[in-house]
Every structure is written in C-alpha cells, then in structure tokens.
Amino acid sequence: MTQTVTSVADWKQLRAEFDETGESLGLVPTMGALHAGHTSLVERSLEENAQTVVSIFVNPTQFNDATDLKNYPRTLDADIQTLERLGVDYAFVPDRDTVYPDAYRYRLVEGDVSKRLCGAHRPGHFDGVLTIVMRLLNIIHPHRAYFGEKDYQQYYLIKDMIRALFMDVEIRRCPIVRDADGVALSSRNALLTAEGRDLAAQFATILRRGESMEAVRSQLEERGIEVDYVEDWSGRRLAAVVIDDVRLIDNVET
C-alpha cells in the first residue's frame, strides 16, 4: 500500500531509515492528474530503485496565467489509486505552505536557456519550475529523479542545474509516451474538446514530418492553430501551440 506523506518532518524520519539500510531511492515529481506518461516514469523508477516516491503538487509558481492554474486537472484520489496499483512505496503530497514557507521570497533564476522557447512566452515559468524541483530534491534527497522528454526544455534546465550546483542526484531522461493518434500524453489533454483533440493530433503529425520550421508553422496556422513557436534547438525540434485555450508542447529529434 502506498503511504502518503504530507510533512517534511515525517519524510525526514522515513528518509533516515533509508540511510541506515543503504537502499536506493527514486523520485518522480508530478503535478498529479497522472496518465500513462507518468506511469512510464514510475515504472522505470521501480525497476531501478529499492524505494520510489512520487510527489504530487500543483506548483503555483510556474503558472504565469491564473486561469491556467485554476483549470489544471486535480485528481488526487484517482492518482493515489494509480500509485497503489503500480506498487509505489510513498506519495509525497505537500501543501503550498510546506514547500514555500518563505512565500516564494527565495527562488532559483537561470539567465539564458530559461528565457527562450517556452520561457519567452511564459515569464517566470522556469523560475518556478527550477525552484520547486530544487526544493523537492532537497526535501526528498533521492538517488535518482525521473523526467520525461516531452518537457524537453525543462529536462535540459534541471539537468544543467544539477551540474552547475554540484548536486548529488542522478537525473534520468525518459522518452515521450504518445496516444495512438500520436498526441504526446499530457494532463492538459483532458481539457480539449473533440475538435481540439483532432487538431492536437494534426499538430503531432505535422511536427514529425521533418519539413522546414516555416512549413510546419504555416501548416499549423492554416488549420487555425495558434502557434507560440516552432524552433530547432539542442538537436530537437520543439513547438508550442494553443488549442481550445489549452497550451500544448511537443518535440522530436532532428
């Protein structure tokens, strides 16, 4: 049965027991609304570690749009059931005051990559991402932490943060999981209408065709899809669009 932990003090007591046994610990940070993409991260952690903890926290500091934060899916009871089915050892489910006792006065800021791509369209987003990941890593103290390729810019920044700050944790990169229609799995997909879902599938198909960035943007806009960006960076083609007022991201190797 998955044990739910809500306080830092309770987690530290459990963590001390792992230190005594020398067991490896894996962390899968999530914002809940778990889907098969999250499941793939959890299953890898279960394979590679003696103990696995999944954090569930809808992090308000990474939302630059209050409506987006309000509408973000919250399915905690179903999420805990999923973790129990998978055999996860612990769920860390803190509230805002637990992870931000300073009310976000202290935050981590990166001055280059975080300003590009998604960062150029979501001011402050990656400050919130890096800050919450840093805090979770400092609370949980895992040996390994697992992140998906769908949020490739996020993965890149987190891995670079670990290197730059000499943190003793291994960041594991896991491949994108897609539905049968090619759409990259995301908790936000649940907010799409049927028509929006069809456009999301077209977005995934067009992005993977290997045509020029200009051609990809043009084809998306012809279908009435709002395009934030389509850019080649770090060996991948990354894109962000808005469909049904829902922001979707995806990327493919180039």
CA distance 163 to 160: 5
Instruction: Give the burial class of 77: count Cβ atoms within 10 A of its Cβ; 0-12 exposed, 13-18 middle, 19 or more buried.
Output: exposed
- Residue recorded with tokens 């012809």: 222
Which residues, 6 or more positions from 15, have their beta carbon under 8 angstroms from its beta carbon?
25, 140, 141
Residue 141 annotated as catalytic: no
Annotated catalytic residue, options 35, 38, 121, 141: 38
Could you tell me the two tokens for 137? 């890593």
- Contact between 101 and 139 under an 8 Å Cβ cutoff? The reply is no
Residue positions annotated with a catalytic role: 38
